[in-house]
Amino acid sequence: MWVALLSAKGEAAAAIKRFKAAAEMESERKLRVLRTDNGGEFTSAEFAEYCTDQGVRRHLSAPYSPQQNGMVERRNQTVVAMARSLLKQRGMPARFWGEAVVTAVFLLNRAPTKSLDGMTPFEAWHGRKPAVHFLRTFGCVAHVKDVRPHPNKLADRSRKMVFIGYEEGSKAYRALDPVSQRVHITRDVVFDEDAAWDWTDEGSVEEGAAHTDYADRLCVTTERLDTTRSGRQGRRLCADRSSVTTKRRGRRARRRPRRRSTPVSRTQ
């Protein structure tokens, strides 16, 4: 089973062409029949001409009759249900539905199914049993090795991220840094499968720093700059955090209260 994430339905025809070319090259067989519904992305004149040129017969289901393409419809329901379970079991936001769908298909291809008499789809296609020793819990906390150059001797050697899937075509994992919202492709990672990221307040994470006080923001900023500049200035500014706060408070304390005008009575 293959899956492709599309930004619009108009990209479906191009995705089918790519899948067809890859499957025919790998299996050394030609695609003869393609069964789809009557969606506009499948009934365009350009795609119909492509199928005719390639000698592919088209089977279209009747309008409002998904049962005529029941195998695909049931498979879609299985994939969506599994993706929903992957997100809910770690309390992840719905915006990660794409990563969950891709991971669900990856796992289903390596799980036994009754339609193949207990064989996995991976084994039926490739002729060998799949390796499963590298599978990890979706959405768990992953400690990714920090490979940035010239680290501080006392700095952490890993960064806490979230595991969101497997990289296609590479023996590596996909890990999301919730602070920078960047996906890292890595193989040097240690998983904590019993832990989950707290998505209720993404700003109050350990490494990221949504502080409201000016001294706190100054300290965190200099700590980040410490990786590229000399660490003396960063440590000095962080050490002066208490003095900055004291000066601010002292400036407020030295303000004199306003004098209230009192009525003066004059006597003749």
148 confidence band (pLDDT: 50, 70, 90): confident
Percent of the chain with pLDDT over 90: 63
Give the tens place of pLDDT for each residue, 171-216.
999 999 999 999 999 999 999 999 999 998 664 343 333 333 333 3
Q: What is the pLDDT of residue 22?
A: 93
> What is the amino acid identity at position 157?
R
Residues 6+ apart with CB under 8 A from 161: 141, 142, 143, 144, 175, 176, 177, 178, 184
| pTM for the full predicted model | 0.72
SS3 at position 192? strand
Candidate from 50-59, 154-163, 247-256 with smallest mean pLDDT: 247-256
Higher pLDDT: 66 or 235? It is 66
Residue 242 confidence (pLDDT) above 90 = no
**For the residues 54-70, what does the mean pLDDT come to?**
92
